[in-house]
Structure 1
Amino acid sequence: MKPKTLWICLLLVLGPFWAQAQAFNDDDALLVATSQLGTERLMIAVDAEAYCIVQRIEGSGYVIVDKRQNARRKIIGWSPDGVWQENQMPPALTNWLAEIKADTICDAFVKTKTDIHDSGSRKDSWADVLPLLTCHWHQASPYNDLCPVIADGNVKTAAGCVAIAAAQVIYFWRDFLPEKTLMDTPTYPYGAAPVTESIAAGTPNKWELLRDDYKNEDDQDARAAVAQLVYVIGTSSYLHYASSTGGQITDAGNALYAQFRMTSEKAVKANYEQTEWECLLYDDLCEGCPIIYSGDSKGDGHAVVIDGYDSKLDLFHFNFGWGGSGDGYYTVDDVTGMNGFNQSQQCVHRIMPQGYITNISEWREMQKSDNTFYPINGIPIKLSTSGHLPMNQLRRGIYIVNGQKIAIH
């Protein structure tokens, strides 16, 4: 074989590996970003060796592109309506990017249990789930107005990511929750700011005063109502109040039931294969149930709400509890999941008011009486149980039984 022929053969054999080793440049990143942002004028807002952030020059929307070798996916995060302003982004997001910046060669092939693009899985039929939450709360005023003060320095403590995540889920379900608190909130001596004030059982929850956000809200009653909710769920979860307030989402799950009679289940990612874990999350979202989600990284941790899904990119929607900043679609895998808080990932899921009906099968099993109103997925339904439905043929939609509409989420 002639030398020239040998060289051509080597190129044919090694071509894919050669291409994979080439640097992923800015033009490549812009091209990838157009799949989500369109062909409008784009700019690179952040350009690091391992990743870059592309956003629209005018308007909102940004994409985080993974530039590392061997990365399984190139888009590891995106926000359709966010604007990248690094000094306003949640620490969970900026800390994650700092870790990626230090890891220029992605080791996804080693760490991921199962292929996140398993084309043979049931995920092929998944559809988009638009974000369930409408609120964009954060940890400062008015949300932390009732939180304790650090004694040495007279500094107001943060509300805490666990409290904000749980409070936003409570707000989502507010129409079906008790009108008053069910137990005295506890007091306890630990943390940088001990909890000394208790809110008594029977205190009105004032759901009607709560707002999606408080950026332009001057109504003091509305501000007081959300401060009370955040304090009730935070102290009932036994948060450690400090300049960076911390706690466990499992404790928040217990508090949801104790104070608001909301049932839930707890799950730890280490007990699931990757696709199984994503199925668990997706099924909850299809039932209309937002999920409280947490993870750790290098001794730090964060809690968010997962409330939506992008089927095209196989990404879940995160509400960071940072006033809307950073909210967008990200992964929950073992490498880039939870925005880098990918250790000890867990969730409190199937959160709903006690006795809430999520499907018609449950309704029929409970043998609800005729001509009585009950909520199904947020809609009051008057049902006549004397009719018959082919349970094994039900799909999401609207069904009629003896003249009564039945809504399936």
Structure 2
Amino acid sequence: MKRISLFLLISIITGIAAFAQQRSMDEVMRIAQEHMERRTTNTGRRVAPPAESATTLRASDILPTPLRMNRGEAFYVLSYPKSNRFVMVSGDERMSPVLAYSDEHAFDPDNMAPQTKEFIQSYAAQAEALQSGAPRKLYSRRVPEAVTPQKIEPLLKTTWSQRTPYNNRCPLIKSQRTLTGCVATAISQLMNYYQYPKVGIGSISYTTKTENLSVYVDLSTIYFAWDKMLDKYISGEYNDGQATAISNLMFAVGASVNMDYGLSGSSSNIGNAPSALIKHFKYDKDICLMQFDLMSTPMVHQFIMQELIAGRPIPCSGLSVEGNGHAFIIDGMTPDGDDYPFYHFNWGWGGLDDGEYKIVDIEYCTQKRILLNVQPENDVVDIANFVQARIAEPSAHKVNPTQTGNINVRVKDLHNGKQETFNGMINVYIVNEEGTRTKIGEKGIQLVYDGFYNYEISCKVPEEMPLGTYMIEAAVQDLSTEVEDTVYFAEESPLVVTDEAVDYVPNMQATLMEFVKGKDTNDSTVCVALTNFMNFNGEPFKGDVSLALASESGKLICMLGTPVKTPITFERYKIYSSSQMDDLKGVVPDSVPDGIYHVVVMVRQEGFEGWGLVKKFDLVNNTIRNRDQDLFLIIQIENGKIKTDNIVVPEKFFADIETLEMTLNKEKCKGHFFSVNINNYFNHGKEKFAGRLSLALADDDNNIIVAFGKVINATSLETYHYIQGTFTLEGEMPDTLSDGHYRLCAAAQQEGYSNWTPITQYAVEGNKIAVSNVECFFDLWVINGRPTLDLVTREDVNRDGVVDTQDVLAIYLYMQNATGTEEFPVEDVNNDGIVDTQDVLAIYNYMQEN
């Protein structure tokens, strides 16, 4: 048998993503020029390209430091000040070539609407994710009825803002008028579009949160003078009646959404707008609040296009990376070939930066919520229920109905976008490729408007279910009707029905976990007891129970001792006392370094391989509350001995040490021994650093699990100073770590503190630091107890519906068991146009079939 080269396989898996895909400046200029030459006026007449040379801006000239990329530019802006035009071109070839443009305004980075600056951060987020090879979401394939993009000129004619005269009725602070707020400006422009209503309904009284201002308005006394409102207010070009008309509207809307008025900014939640519009201005009761992050990208575009084609402007809001909120209106659309269309944004900032913008993949988008079906009341039920969710996740992605067809489906982040509280059923289905649905479970639920809920539904796949891959879907059904409404999911969740033996992971939980003293315990042994042990899974539980050791961040390190058999069978949804569950004992290996750790409990069903982590639930007045909480006990290992009492969790110091470069000494890396070099290190922290440097392993969130190997006593370093030279960090990593993915990194520990902090990376341009705080690590997998570097996959190789360590294991096992005399082919085996892990699978399948 001929073994496949590991590094050859790695090159196949990661090679495509590794190549730089940054656009050259020549390409950027060409794209901008071609876009300008294609532009036409509203009547179809071609717009002449600007005669002037463009002012070129890079993303790094515009974005805040944390969003600047170290691998290139996220985008470029070519601005034409004399022609009042700009084009924004993406810096990565995998993004839409043109991200935004305007035939109305040039681009001035020193005079941008705050909303614009926050929105374009989504372009940087997508570019960074593409460059780093971040995994992509599996988008739902079920979308609303297809809508073809079409040219829709901006529906709004107004370009309103927030200061004089718009805020002439807003509350005063020290004789100064507060701002109207972006939500009030957006909704006011929308109401002006409909010229509705003539007068408000009811009165409003409240005290603002920040400044404690008293706000009162009797809306029944405010008649909206639509005919006096101007499309744009220019100082000296409007009269008192026109100013009063717009300020009355802005104040009425602001009060209706409970605006928190301030001088530098006034804030409200766009989620308050549906109630305000329905209750105080008689707008349609079927207004829906849609969460972007609970929809797939295709579905978001479908809904936006449907609204615009129906002639309804769309209020939209979101958050920037810094957490600043903003609201504006989407009111137009321009097709862009086969790509998603451009949308016209009215930022509500006096026309500044209004133009055509692309909405990027939703997982990177800073826009979070939009309102659908905003229109005057038509006394027709347009949308009965509007429910979204993140995912319907099964307790197992593969099921053998003849073995056990019982699964639990956990629907996460259920969100009701309509004002009325939903009371009814949620029905769970599995759907085949032809769209045939089979109901497998149901549950009664209640969803209050704009809340987020998690529900777990007990389901059963029928024994006669045909083999194959299905998608899990759900629908809600109001108690007053038999009609169902689709639940829209952000991500698909596949379920494989098979006749093969499948693994099964128990879901056991308890209300309490505590140490048991004096039961043959010593300096290396712990003993614990569980209270109110309960089985939340579809099958009775009988099997193995074991203690395990985890890091403070929850990453499993190793099992503690030999698993024990459960004394009884635990029936589902029945509570068992501590007397019905044996105490659990475990021994901590000598190789575990000193530090703070978590002791957890693991369970495994008899006849299966998968281990499940025991979680915590609360029992309040015999009612189960707050399931799936973390359950653990803290221990401290000090001088090789276990402490369970009087543990003082030491104060932590997060050192901010950065290196110019970290390289792997591949010739030294064998077995559990690893070696890296760091080139220069720099104290970017606010305090002097005097401590140690070491190799370490971190989890996927960059939390240090364990430091190991040779420790370097670092030279004392003042803040913003650096040390030149190359330093080697090396040593044996613990051999007790559980299988899974880790980050091999360098770490720093401040003198007098016990915690370690990952060392990050900086880059220099000229004599200045151009980029800092970039995560710096090597991917490391532990498979069957053996560490392997850089074996990375972002594909579902074993076709079990999830991308996880089992896919890496599938490739690893293929490498070990492959037969034949040829080297692994570096070619597109399955003819799908790319060389990736699917080609590995194609060869594997061919071997199986032949």
TM-score range for the pair, normalised by the shorter chain length: 0.7 to 0.9
The CA deviation at 1:325 is 0.8
The reply on whether 1:129 has 2:129 as its aligned counterpart is no
Q: Is the 8 A contact 1:53 1:65 kept in 2?
A: yes
2:205 is paired with a residue of what secondary structure? coil
Judged with a 3 Å threshold, the aligned counterparts in structure 2 of structure 1 residues 155 and 336 are, in CA distance, closer, same or farther, namely farther
Shift in Å at residue 336 of structure 1? 8.7
Change in CA separation of 1:166 and 1:329 when aligned onto 2, cut-off 3 Å: same
Correspondence 1:236 to 2:256: yes
Q: How far did 1:100 drift? A: 5.7
User: What displacement does 1:138 show?
Assistant: 0.7
Report the count of equivalent residues: 333
Contact 2:209 2:260 in 1 (8 A): yes
- Out of 275-284 and 76-85, give the one that drifted further: 76-85
Please tell me the residue identity of whatever aligns with 1:292.
Answer: P
Q: Distance in 2 between matches of 1:165 and 1:147?
A: 16
Q: 1:97 to 1:280 in 2, by over 3 A?
A: closer
* CA–CA distance in structure 1, aligned partners of residues 55 and 16 of structure 2: 27
2:105 is aligned with 1:82: yes
The equivalent of 2:46 in structure 1 is none
CA distance in 2, matches of 1:350, 1:103: 29
AA partner of residue 142 (structure 1): P
Q: Deviations over 1:166-197 (max 9, x none)?
A: 000000000xx232221223332423251334
CA deviation after TM superposition for structure 1 residue 36, in Å: 2.5
SS in 1 for 2:220: coil
| Change in 2 beyond 3 A, CA 1:334/1:302 | farther
Amino acid at match of 1:43: A
Partners of 2:375 and 2:109 in 1: CA distance:
35
CA distance in structure 2 between the partners assigned to 1:20 and 1:50 by the alignment: 16
Cα contact 1:112–1:333 (8 A) shared by 2: no
Distance 1:187 1:112 in 2: 45
Partners of 1:277 and 1:79 in 2: how far apart?
23
**1:401 alignment partner in structure 2:** none
d(CA) in 2 for partners of 1:79, 1:129: 15
Detail structure 1 runs of 4+ shifted over 6 Å in the superposition: 101-104, 356-359
Kindly report which structure 2 residues correspond to 1:137-286, keeping only aligned pairs within 5 A, or say none.
137-150=160-173, 153-174=174-195, 177-192=196-211, 194-216=213-235, 217-242=237-262, 243-263=264-284, 264-286=287-309
Contact 1:145-1:227 at 8 Å conserved across structures: yes
2:320 counterpart of 1:321: no
Counterpart residue number, 1:307: 331
Could you say if the C-alpha distance between residues 358 and 200 of structure 1 is closer, same or farther in structure 2, counting changes exceeding 3 Å? closer
| Structure 1 residue 219, shift from structure 2 partner | 0.8
**Are the structure 2 counterparts of residues 357 and 219 from structure 1 closer, same or farther at C-alpha, using a change threshold of 3 Å?**
farther
Deviation by residue 1:301-330 (Cα, 9 ceiling, x = unmatched) = 111101111111622111100111111122
8 Å Cα contact 2:332-2:345 kept in structure 1: yes
Distance verdict in 2 for CA 1:248–1:18, change over 3 Å: closer
Structure 1 or 2: more helix by fraction: 1
- Specify the SS of the correspondent of 1:309: strand
Q: Which has the larger radius of gyration?
A: 2
- Give the Å deviation of 1:37: 1.8
TM-score normalised per structure 2: 0.36
Segments of 5+ residues of structure 2 without an aligned counterpart are 1-11, 38-48, 61-72, 383-850
Higher strand share: 2
- Work out whether residues 162 and 304 of structure 1, in 8 Å CA contact, stay in contact via their aligned partners in 2: yes
Give, as a single letter, the amino acid of the residue that structure 2 aligns with 1:252. A
CA distance in 1, matches of 2:360, 2:21: 25
Letter in 1 for 2:241: D
- Structure 1 residue corresponding to 2:366, chosen from 309, 330, 341: 341
CA 1:187–1:315: 2 relative to 1, 3 Å: same
**Quick one: distance in 1 between partners of 2:309 and 2:87?**
25
Aligned mates of 2:300, 2:122 — CA distance in 1? 24
- Amino acid in structure 2 at the alignment position of 1:327: D
1:35 matches 2:10: no
Instruction: Name the aligned partner's letter for residue 198 of structure 2.
Output: E
Please state how far the C-alpha of 1:266 moved relative to its aligned partner: 1.6
Task: Work out which of the residue numbers 57, 74, 86 in structure 2 matches 1:46.
Answer: 57
Structure 1 residues 335 and 256, CA gap change in structure 2 (3 angstroms): closer
Q: Which amino acid aligns with 1:92?
A: Q
Does structure 2 retain, via aligned residues, the 8 Å contact 1:70–1:107? Answer: no
Q: What pairs up with 1:55-134 in 2 under 5 angstroms? A: 55-56=79-80, 58-67=82-91, 69=92, 71-97=94-120, 105-107=128-130, 110=134, 113=137, 122=146, 125-134=148-157
1:404 matched to which residue of 2? Answer: none
* CA pair 215-336 structure 1, distance change in 2 beyond 3 A: farther
User: Alignment partner of 1:58: what SS?
Assistant: coil
CA displacement at 1:110 relative to structure 2? 3.7
In structure 2, the residue corresponding to 1:52 is in which secondary structure?
Answer: strand
What are the residue-to-residue correspondences of 1:356-371 with 2, within 5 Å? none
Higher relative contact order, chain-length normalized (CA < 8 Å, sep 6+): 1
How far apart in 2 are the matches of 1:275 and 1:114?
A: 12
Alignment match, 2:433: none
User: CA offsets per residue over residues 125-145 of structure 1, 9 Å max, x none?
Assistant: 321121111100011111111
One-letter amino acid matched to 2:30: L
Whether the 8 Å CA contact 2:318–2:327 is kept in 1: the answer is yes
Residue of structure 1 equivalent to 2:729: none
* Cα deviation code 1:314-368 (max 9, x no counterpart): 221111001111111223334697xx624xx111111111118999xxxxxxxxx
Judge conservation of contact 2:118–2:319 (CA < 8 Å) in 1.
no
- The CA distance in 1 between the partners of 2:178 and 2:81, in whole Å, is 37
Matched-pair contact (CA < 8 Å) for 1:163–1:230: yes
Unaligned runs of 5+ in 1: 1-12, 360-409
- Write the letter of the residue equivalent to 1:166: I
Q: 1:220, 1:244 → 2: CA distance?
A: 25
Amino acid at match of 1:274: T
- Is contact 1:238–1:247 with CA below 8 Å preserved after alignment? yes
- In the TM superposition, residue 104 of structure 1 has moved relative to its aligned partner by 6.6
Q: Give the distance between the partners of 2:114 and 2:169, measured in 1 at CA.
A: 23
Q: Which amino acid aligns with 2:354?
A: D
Q: Distance in 2 between matches of 1:18 and 1:296?
A: 30
Q: Tell me: CA distance 1:160–1:352, structure 2 relative to 1, closer, same or farther (3 Å).
A: same
Identity of aligned residues (%): 22
**1:20 positional shift:** 6.0
Aligned pair in 2 of structure 1 residues 114, 326: CA closer, same or farther (>3 Å)?
farther
